[in-house]
């Protein structure tokens, strides 16, 4: 039944005008589940995320998001409970943290409950926050809107290991507490295995392997040699 999933891709081919990048993807996410997409650069992870988020039209196959297989724009999906966060800092640099939250209709208190670190930063212009602090703000803002599906594309790109761990831990907590389904793309494979329930390993546009985080973790050296090395 479609409603068992917040995301269901079946036989999905995705790509750009004249360039099929992803082939025959079967990817699912259930409520409360954290699912990781890992793979070398160019494996097609971002293309998959863009397609699921409604930004890119599928070439063929089915994508069902939040119970509907009809293609919708990202803004329409956002109104139905999709949140899409990327490595791009999406905060407005000239506004304070508090103003960034208010602009999104999010209370500063709710955001600080998710990341207490933000309390001391509320009056600071977002442009003066560190990269990690900006991503805390971005993630808090996203989670405060109670999404049912979070798509996170390399949220922690370029950040220090402790921050990566912190962001991932908060994503895990939100999945557990809000029954949020999460699809996340991460380069930090070992850290992501600590929080993910299931993992898809992509290479050259295809899912080569899937399993629980424990299964993939048990075989990590082989997985890295076979699928995660640069193409
Ligand atoms: P990375 O970790 O480097 O972001 P990725 O797994 O997210 O890698 P994608 O960004 O999805 O991979 O890229 C997959 C392939 O799609 C690459 O070969 C890339 O050149 C190609 N590609 C990306 N964007 C476009 C575009 N706008 N038009 C045509 N091809 C593109």
> Looking at this predicted complex, what is its ipTM?
0.93
Has residue 75 got a pLDDT over 50? yes
Q: Is the pLDDT of residue 29 over 70?
A: yes
* CA distances (Å), origin 85, targets 7, 38, 112, 152: 16, 17, 19, 5
Query: Could you tell me if the CB of 61 is within 6 A of ligand 1?
Result: no
Provide the H-helix boundaries in 6-130: 45-52, 74-79, 97-103, 108-114
The answer to whether the CB of 41 is under 6 A from ligand 1 is: yes
pLDDT attached to residue 2 = 45
42 C-alpha to ligand 1 centroid (Å): 5
Report percent pLDDT > 70 for the chain. 98
Residue 198 has pLDDT above 70, yes or no: yes
Q: Is the pLDDT at 95 greater than 70, yes or no? A: yes
> Average pLDDT in the 151-175 region?
94
Residue of the CA atom closest to atom 19 of ligand 1:
42
Is 231 close to ligand 1, i.e. is its CB under 6 Å away? no
Residue 55 in contact with ligand 1 by CB distance below 6 A = no
Residue nearest to atom 11 of ligand 1 (CA): 44
Mean pLDDT of the chain: 94
pLDDT at 56 (0 to 100): 95
pLDDT at position 3 over 70: no
pLDDT of residue 230 exceeding 90, the answer is: no
pLDDT of residue 1 exceeding 60, the answer is no
Which of 38, 47, 49, 151 has most ligand 1 atoms within 8 Å of CB, for mutation? 47
CB of 1 closer than 6 angstroms to any ligand 1 atom? no
Selected residue with higher pLDDT from 230 and 204: 204
Q: What is the CA 90 to chain-centroid distance, rounded?
A: 14
Q: Which two tokens stand for residue 147?
A: 């999404």
- The residue-averaged pLDDT of 46-72 equals 94
Query: For residue 196, which of 220, 166, 221, 172 has the smallest C-alpha distance?
Result: 172
Q: Tell me which residue has its CA closest to atom 1 in ligand 1.
A: 41
Q: Which of 22, 2, 3 is nearest to 12 (CA)?
A: 22
82 CA distance to ligand 1 middle (Å): 22
The side-by-side arrangement of strands in the sheet containing 82-86 is 82-86, 149-153, 181-185, 34-39, 198-203, 206-212
> For position 229, what pLDDT does the model report?
84
């Amino acid at each position: 039944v479609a409603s068992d999933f917040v995301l269901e891709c079946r036989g999905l081919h995705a790509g750009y005008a004249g360039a099929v990048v992803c082939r025959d993807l079967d990817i699912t996410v259930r409520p409360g589940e954290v699912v990781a997409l890992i793979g070398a650069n160019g494996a097609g992870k971002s293309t998959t995320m863009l397609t699921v988020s409604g930004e890119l039209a599928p070439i063929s196959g089915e994508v069902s998001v939040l119970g509907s297989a009809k293609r919708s724009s990202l803004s329409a999906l956002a109104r139905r409970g999709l949140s899409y966060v990327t490595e791009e800092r999406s905060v407005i640099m000239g506004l304070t943290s508090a103003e960034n939250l208010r602009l999104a209709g999010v209370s500063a208190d709710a955001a600080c409950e998710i990341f207490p670190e933000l309390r001391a930063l509320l009056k600071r212009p977002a442009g003066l926050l560190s990269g990690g602090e900006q991503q805390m703000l971005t993630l808090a803002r996203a989670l405060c809107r109670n999404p049912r599906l979070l798509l996170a594309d390399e949220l922690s790109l370029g950040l220090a290991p402790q921050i990566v761990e912190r962001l991932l831990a908060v994503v895990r907590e939100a999945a557990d507490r809000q029954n949020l389904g999460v699809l996340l793309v991460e380069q930090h494979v070992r850290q992501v295995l600590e929080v993910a329930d299931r993992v898809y390993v992509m290479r050259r546009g295809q899912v080569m392997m899937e399993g629980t985080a424990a299964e993939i973790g048990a075989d990590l050296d082989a997985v890295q040699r076979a699928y995660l090395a640069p193409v």
